[in-house]
Structure 1
């Protein structure tokens, strides 16, 4: 709606009232984000170069990587959960029983590190961490190593390694304490896609040799005819 300004003889737009906003009632698009980025090989190299075997920081990393424990469980994990090399614990978050076998390398790291009385990883006073204090402590030492990631990112790396090696959804559930297969399948699907992609590419390469090889090298035909 417009009116004419007496002084300028120009059309001036009048404010419009009660105009309906077309975005009313439309929900904003929600983007799925992953707050905890998984570690990669370069992160592992930086951390292990900074924190040598014998330090609590290195023991915490090795435990996270080999067991895949959550922060809420690693602060409680201790020798009371061990029978030989086998570690079993009921997870705090889901109540699921998880069981893993610690490799000899991890057992050696534990033997070479001063541990707490009630847990493998303890604070300066020897007492166990709380979930939050452990997370903050570990992230601080990650930053010192040049790794801007978290303890949960190590758990994600551990699950990725297991899935890439062919672990099934139920095997992942048993190790990582998941109550349903939904979480496990996020890793197995990614691993399966990689394996299937590699397998398919090999099949393509084989068929190229069988069906297209002569066409890809026309000079071979001329040589054969001569």
Structure 2
């Protein structure tokens, strides 16, 4: 990929070791137009916005570099017809950083699927999940850039494949669940019950409080996706909540140190869990997000459909099925085994002692 090229009617002036850019139509001719100063960095969206204004064109800047394209995409987020939640914006911004690092100052028009595939394979060699996230963020930006805004004329992610999904977050074992229910106390116990029976992410569990109760369930806008599921408060959780002190704010309040009485952040709750997990070998491998898997598997075993669980938990139907596929296969296999045994029992032929059939 070559260096940045300047658009028509833009010229560079070098003065005292510094670069300056100007827009002037017909420069050097008797019909030269007005000379308009532009920002000094042609790799920023501000430069391209000023260039378009100098030409009498309004709207989004036309990016030349990949950095500028990403900047323009981020500037456009508030105007998108399908809004991105703050959580998604944070993820996209984070996952586009490897793209900036690899090709930021190079022309966006020169990026090709072979370049993207090479980077994704490099990241995925050690972190396949991270590679998939980078590809998803880049693909979302390219879909936008190839749409009505017409900032790209090709899709550099075309044909670039995701790495195969792993098993996802592992649900807690029955032994781990029983141990937590018997052993956990205080805020950690509250966190465990809220996570297990609502299936919410840790970022949302730390925000849950009495004000989110809504007619026998919880209604809370999810931080990551912006979705607002309605989570039933099941009897097990209802009985536990009845033992908690009713007060304003979230259920999870810090109990020790200088921050006693203040709500937990996601990271602070992680630290409390990590310390407890380190004390008990039985909890090895257990992660808070695994309780999300336990929640959907429990609901599926109770006979609810993936769509119903999606509404209750705020998880995509695809992800519900991903978490539940082992449980579903096991249930199907057990049903077949039961039917097989019952069928064979009806076909058993008993013999009299004299050798004749009954």
Give the match's secondary structure for 1:38.
Answer: coil
**Match of residue 61 from structure 1:** 192
1:220 Cα shift?
A: 4.7
Contact 1:98 1:176 in 2 (8 A): yes
C-alpha spacing 1:102/1:96, structure 2 compared with 1 (3 Å): same
Q: Is it true that 1:193 corresponds to 2:325 in the alignment?
A: no
Cα distance in structure 2, aligned partners of 1:105 and 1:161: 13
Let me know the Cα RMSD of the aligned residues.
2.8
Which consecutive unaligned segments of at least 5 residues does structure 2 have? 1-117, 129-162
Contact 1:68 1:155 in 2 (8 A): yes
Q: Is it true that 1:72 corresponds to 2:207 in the alignment?
A: no
1:33 Cα shift?
A: 3.9
Contact 1:98 1:175 in 2 (8 A): yes
**Match of residue 5 from structure 1:** none
Of 269, 272, 279, 1:144 maps to 279
1:96-143 C-alpha deviation (Å, 9 max, x unpaired): 111122134423322323466321112232222222221222232233
Contact 2:188 2:272 in 1 (8 A): no
C-alpha spacing 1:210/1:221, structure 2 compared with 1 (3 Å): farther
Q: Is it true that 1:165 corresponds to 2:296 in the alignment?
A: no
Cα distance in structure 2, aligned partners of 1:107 and 1:200: 36
Cα distance in structure 1, aligned partners of 2:296 and 2:192: 14
Of 45, 48, 67, 2:178 maps to 45
Q: TM-score, normalised by structure 1?
A: 0.73
**Match of residue 355 from structure 2:** 223
Give the match's secondary structure for 2:296.
Answer: helix
Cα distance in structure 1, aligned partners of 2:175 and 2:253: 27
1:34 Cα shift?
A: 4.5
Contact 1:139 1:151 in 2 (8 A): no
Give the match's secondary structure for 2:229.
Answer: strand
Contact 2:168 2:323 in 1 (8 A): no
Q: Is it true that 1:122 corresponds to 2:258 in the alignment?
A: no
C-alpha spacing 1:36/1:203, structure 2 compared with 1 (3 Å): closer
C-alpha spacing 1:117/1:225, structure 2 compared with 1 (3 Å): closer
Provide the aligned length of Structure 1 versus Structure 2.
Answer: 194
Which consecutive unaligned segments of at least 5 residues does structure 1 have? 1-24
Of structures 1 and 2, the one scoring higher in RCO (CA 8 A, sep 6+) is 1
Give the match's secondary structure for 1:90.
Answer: coil
